[in-house]
């Protein structure tokens, strides 16, 4: 784990903060634009049930974001503090824990969503008209794409914690 000590030790705080915050803001905007694009294209079908199903599935997707942020931001905060204390081995251990923790917790969440999909979606408001579409979206977006999406978000946060915001 090569750290960016120049950014943390010698760069003025406002400049260092901006160099780390701007990539974070841009990545969050990309996620939101992606979600709006999904809604736009599904809205082009003129089927309100598909749009409603997409809205229901987004709740489950945002739970994935929360899981990724738990390990990415939480682990990243600890990594930054450890690197500031020159404890690189401990920072590596936290990085590994965050990586594998993201995979394990996301896999459990995806399996819960897969095996209990109908009751979860119905509890979130899916009707008979939207349940089929919600199940399709949940299968592909949450169950199949869950681990790659969560890892992408968590690893971006971990890179930022090491001072490599532009690479995330």
Closest CA to 135 of 159, 154, 119: 119
Q: What is the pLDDT of residue 22?
A: 78
CA-angle at 167, arms to 166 and 168, nearest 5°:
95
As a whole number of angstroms, the distance between CA 85 and CA 1 comes to 15
Span 103-149, pLDDT tens digits? 999 999 999 999 999 999 999 999 999 999 999 999 999 999 999 99
Closest CA to 83 of 165, 157, 1: 1
As a whole number of angstroms, the distance between CA 29 and CA 108 comes to 27
As a whole number of angstroms, the distance between CA 123 and CA 138 comes to 14
Q: What is the pLDDT of residue 86?
A: 87
pTM, rounded to two decimals = 0.79
What are the domain boundaries of the chain?
8-167
Backbone angles phi, psi at 12, to 5 degrees: -55, 145
- In sequence order, the 6+-apart residues with CB closer than 8 A to the CB of 6 are 163
């Amino acid at each position: 784990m090569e750290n960016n000590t120049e950014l943390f030790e010698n760069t003025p705080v406002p400049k260092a903060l901006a160099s780390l915050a701007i990539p974070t803001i841009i990545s969050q905007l990309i996620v939101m634009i992606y979600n709006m694009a999904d809604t736009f294209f599904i809205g082009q079908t003129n089927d309100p049930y598909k749009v409603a199903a997409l809205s229901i599935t987004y709740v489950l997707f945002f739970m994935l974001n929360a899981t990724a942020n738990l390990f990415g931001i939480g682990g990243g905060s600890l990594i930054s503090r450890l690197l500031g204390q020159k404890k690189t081995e401990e920072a590596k251990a936290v990085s590994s824990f965050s990586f594998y923790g993201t995979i394990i917790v996301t896999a459990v969440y995806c399996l819960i969503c897969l095996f209990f999909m109908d009751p979860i979606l119905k509890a979130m408001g899916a009707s008979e008209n939207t349940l089929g579409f919600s199940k399709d979206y949940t299968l592909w977006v949450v169950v199949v794409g869950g681990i790659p999406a969560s890892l992408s978000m968590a690893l971006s946060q971990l890179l930022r914690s090491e001072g490599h915001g532009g690479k995330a």
